[in-house]
């Protein structure tokens, strides 16, 4: 038997079965850098009497703009990317290698669910896989790319990841979109069920991209930020003012402070922007509030998850606060908002990551306590000269709070109007490190970051 010819034949069969997925791996990674592992593993699907070449998943190592990654790619050409016990075991082995080598993971996901006929075996495999991916959280970054249809248990794998990239044709669904659409009595396209815009309440750290090439550049950019290396910035740039901030404070004008900014989760609670970027060349994780944001379970969860990401990878957390407290609605009162708040505080308390707050607008009640108070771990708290820090959002709020008591409404109005108008009251108590003219806030942040050694 000609073993060399046999090897070539087997290799040709494996490559032929994965032409499409290998082209996508090639588009994502640096040219010639992909080294495949476990290429010749395969099992037989008894239900279809068909072999799953490579277990229907391609694994290996590659670089993306010079950074090393573990690559795990589902091969949709093999049984529609169907997951099996052996398929899950192969992915879990790749994750063990990523953990051992401290290599970030990129998943290329496309599957219509599990392989028919696997039964309880695949359920055990999925349990093993999801647990392993969960154990990697905070150890190495995990990126998921939703190549097309991702249905069933693989959706849970994507949700574990730190970043999830959605292409225009992506559809991430816990069940078939046809089933979900029919159950809702609608006739929806798959993208309307599980696309980037459709998953606005899922709380997934989503990033919208147009192509695999854009994924490649975004992954490299995020990796560079997470690595925390300080980027060289000129003295002139470090001392440059932001005069636009004196003309008006908006989420967009505040975000302009960030260099190399990339927003995460823009499809969820858009009134709050969560972004990675740099300030003075130093990597940071920034939470930017829109005007007078009121808290609910969904936007607090978004902040909590982003704070966890920052703390896991040692990025300084900066909050730009304009928050008027919790939304006064029955549905919010009967929601998980308070539980999300306590979990957020637990994350702040569990790490010594640098934390800086800038009150850009209102910091009312819990809006101040959660996102600017030194007592919850903020190392520096600044307020812009135009900021408002108070217990209630105006005299009307105070009157409602004390409606059952015989409080002097005129005195309440005078007291809370005065508190709202001037952050000096907070500064007198030692709770603010400085009240800053808006255009100079970036310089203060740079000095604070340098002082904290980040």
Could you read off the pLDDT of 170-207 as tens digits, one per residue?
999 998 888 888 888 888 999 999 999 999 999 999 99
Structure token digits, residue 421:
């108008």
Using CB atoms within 10 Å of the CB of residue 250, give its burial: 0 to 12 exposed, 13 to 18 middle, 19+ buried.
Answer: middle
DSSP 147-158: EEEEETTHHHHH
In total, the chain counts a number of residues equal to 454
Residue 48 banded pLDDT, cuts 50, 70, 90: very low
Measured CA to CA, the distance from residue 48 to residue 379 in angstroms comes to 61
Are 317 and 289 spatial neighbours (Cβ–Cβ below 8 Å)? no
Instruction: Report the sign of the C-alpha dihedral through residues 401, 402, 403, 408, in that order.
Output: negative
Look at residue 129 in the predicted model and tell me its pLDDT. Answer: 93
Question: For position 183, what pLDDT does the model report?
Answer: 84
Q: What phi and psi, each to the nearest 5 degrees, are found at residue 90?
A: -65, -40
For 382-393, the pLDDT digits (tens) are 999 989 888 877
Instruction: Label residue 327 exposed, middle or buried (CB < 10 Å: 0-12, 13-18, 19+).
Output: middle
Contact in structure between 142 and 105 (CB atoms under 8 Å): yes
CB 420 within 8 A of CB 388: yes
Give the tens place of pLDDT for each residue, 260-308.
999 999 999 999 999 999 999 999 999 999 999 999 999 999 999 999 9
DSSP 3-state assignment of 330?
helix
Tell me the pTM.
0.89
Res 225 pLDDT > 90: yes
Which pLDDT score, from 0 to 100, does residue 102 have?
Answer: 94
Residue 15 has pLDDT above 70, yes or no: no
Measured CA to CA, the distance from residue 292 to residue 432 in angstroms comes to 20
Q: What tens digit of pLDDT does each residue of 86-130 get?
A: 888 889 999 999 999 999 999 999 998 877 666 788 889 899 999
pLDDT at 17 > cutoff 50: yes
């Amino acid at each position: 038997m000609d073993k060399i010819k046999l090897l070539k034949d087997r290799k040709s069969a494996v490559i032929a079965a994965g032409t499409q997925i290998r082209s996508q791996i090639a588009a994502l990674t640096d040219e010639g850098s992909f080294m495949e592992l476990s290429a010749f593993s395969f099992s037989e699907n008894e239900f279809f009497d068909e072999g799953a070449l490579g277990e229907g998943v391609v694994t290996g190592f590659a670089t993306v703009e010079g950074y090393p990654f573990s690559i795990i790619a589902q091969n949709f050409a093999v049984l529609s990317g169907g997951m099996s016990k052996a398929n899950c075991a192969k992915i879990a082995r790749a994750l063990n290698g990523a953990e051992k080598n401290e290599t970030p993971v990129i998943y290329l996901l496309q599957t219509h669910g599990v392989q028919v006929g696997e039964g309880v075996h695949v359920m055990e495999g999925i349990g093993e896989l999801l647990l392993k991916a969960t154990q990697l959280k905070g150890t190495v970054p995990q990126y998921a790319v939703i190549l097309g249809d991702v249905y069933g248990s693989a959706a849970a794998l994507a949700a574990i990841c730190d970043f999830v990239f959605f292409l225009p044709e992506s559809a991430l669904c816990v069940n078939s979109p046809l089933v979900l659409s029919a159950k809702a009595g609608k006739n929806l396209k798959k993208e309307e069920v599980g696309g980037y815009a459709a998953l606005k309440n899922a709380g997934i750290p989503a990033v919208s991209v147009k192509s695999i090439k854009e994924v490649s550049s975004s992954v490299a950019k995020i990796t560079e930020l997470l690595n925390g290396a300080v980027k060289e910035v000129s003295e002139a740039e470090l001392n440059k003012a932001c005069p636009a901030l004196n003309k008006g404070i908006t989420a967009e004008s505040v975000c302009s402070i960030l260099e190399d900014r990339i927003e995460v989760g823009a499809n969820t609670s858009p009134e709050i922007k969560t972004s990675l970027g740099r300030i003075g060349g130093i990597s940071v994780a920034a939470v930017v509030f829109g005007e007078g944001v009121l808290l609910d379970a969904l936007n607090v969860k978004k902040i909590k998850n982003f704070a966890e990401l920052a703390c896991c990878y040692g990025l300084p957390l900066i909050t730009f606060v304009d928050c008027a407290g919790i939304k006064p609605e029955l549905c919010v009162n009967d929601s998980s908002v308070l539980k999300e708040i306590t979990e957020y505080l637990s994350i702040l308390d569990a790490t010594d990551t640098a934390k800086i707050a800038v009150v850009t607008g209102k910091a009312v009640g819990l809006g101040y306590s959660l996102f600017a108070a030194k007592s919850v771990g903020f190392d520096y708290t600044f307020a812009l000269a135009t900021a408002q820090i108070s217990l209630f959002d105006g005299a009307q709020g105070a009157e409602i709070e004390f409606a059952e008591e015989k409080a002097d409404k005129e005195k309440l109005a005078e007291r809370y109007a005065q508190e709202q108008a001037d952050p000096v009251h907070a500064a007198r108590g030692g709770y603010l490190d400085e009240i800053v003219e808006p255009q100079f806030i970036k310089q203060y942040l740079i000095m604070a970051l340098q002082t904290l050694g980040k």
